[in-house]
A = this chain, B = another copy of it.
Amino acid sequence: MNPKVLAIEPSMIRAIAAKKQAGAIDLGIGEPALLPQQRFIDAAARWAAEHGVKYTVNAGDVALRELIAAHYAFPGMGAARNVCITTGSQEAVYVAIKTLLDPAVDELLVVAPAFPAYAKMAQLEGIASRAVHMRADDDFRYDVDAIVDAIDPATRMIAIASPANPTGRVLRDADARRLAAALLARPGAPVWILQDEIYRELTYVDDPGSIADYYPYTIVANSLSKSNALTGMRIGWLIAPGEVSDALVKTHAWVTSTASSFGQRVALEIFREPGALQEHAAWYRAQHGSVTAALEESGLRYVPIDGAFYACVRLPRGGDAMAAALELVERRNVVAIPGGTFGASLEGWLRISWVAPADDVAEGLRRIAAL
């Protein structure tokens, strides 16, 4: 067998979730509780009745790719050629890491705390990865200087999510500009930015930024999973400069051939209807208000929530977050994820998600505060 596969440890998130009991308050779940917009699924079913469900070209349906490229309109990445449709943002990130990095010489730098997938995928590919930790005493705000200082000669890609899972922090527009300027000022081969925007539609600040707007060596990963409650539809995409995009499509073609054409039709209907990507955002904004109030009331230390649907809370009496998460799931009927899952800088914290009803979230926070 492949020793790189054998070496990968099982997911801690799933191990905790597997212990969930009936009636538990689930603050572990990483997907929307809302139902998707059924009209788009029904439209795709009608389309299938007429056209069947055939292969698209490897990169995905051209009309969909044109709509996506035009919608985001990142400089130099506004054409269908710049978009590759993938099996969710998971395959998008996997293909980007596998294509852009040479395991023999390149390193991936992960801005942490971070979703564990970036480092695990690098490990699976035999690519070195290293974390640059945002600081707890700075509320895990994106620190552009720390990121740039962490680049070393082997660094060829920086993975950064905004809004971030788990911290909920959002890279501000001014920071995106500063990061782009600092990277452009560096001598030598450019460092790629892999910008994960899967929570892009869910922000609660006025000035979110996209590095792709300012830095030409950016690859953007996104999907319909969170914005449109379509986690199970498995439709994501990569947006990248032309020649890079061609290489990404080549890898994608051998890994999965094409993304679901049924799912691509759902996506086409969504991108054709102005506002459809934002339809769920009002619910999240209201929930964000309730959850922030509940966090204040809990007395717990928490990280300000700029975006996404997570909050990081400090264990009230310190100690080991894994033990606390086990105590919560086994004896207090609350699922929460230990912070260490997302990097050493989040040891002693729990990540909660807040897609459950607001009263349940508040009760879950009270139980955490009583630990």
Taking Cβ atoms with an 8 Å cutoff, the residues of A that contact B are 1-3, 5-6, 8, 10-11, 14, 31, 34-36, 38, 41-42, 44-45, 48-49, 52-58, 87-88, 90-91, 94, 98-104, 117, 120-121, 124, 229-234, 247, 250-251, 253-264
Contact = CB atoms under 8 A, between A and B. Distances in A.
A102 B5 CA distance: 9
A71 to B, nearest CB: 21
B2 A31 contact: no
Contact of A124 (B44, B55, B254): B254
Nearest to A18: B57
25 contacts: A1-B100, A1-B101, A2-B99, A2-B100, A2-B102, A8-B254, A10-B250, A11-B253, A14-B57, A14-B58, A31-B54, A41-B45, A52-B232, A53-B231, A56-B232, A87-B87, A87-B234, A87-B257, A90-B255, A91-B255, A91-B256, A117-B254, A120-B254, A231-B261, A232-B258
Contacts of A90: 254-257
Contacts of A53: 36, 41, 229-233
- One complex includes copies of this chain to the number of 2
A225 to B, nearest CB: 9
Nearest to A38: B49
A2 B231 contact: no
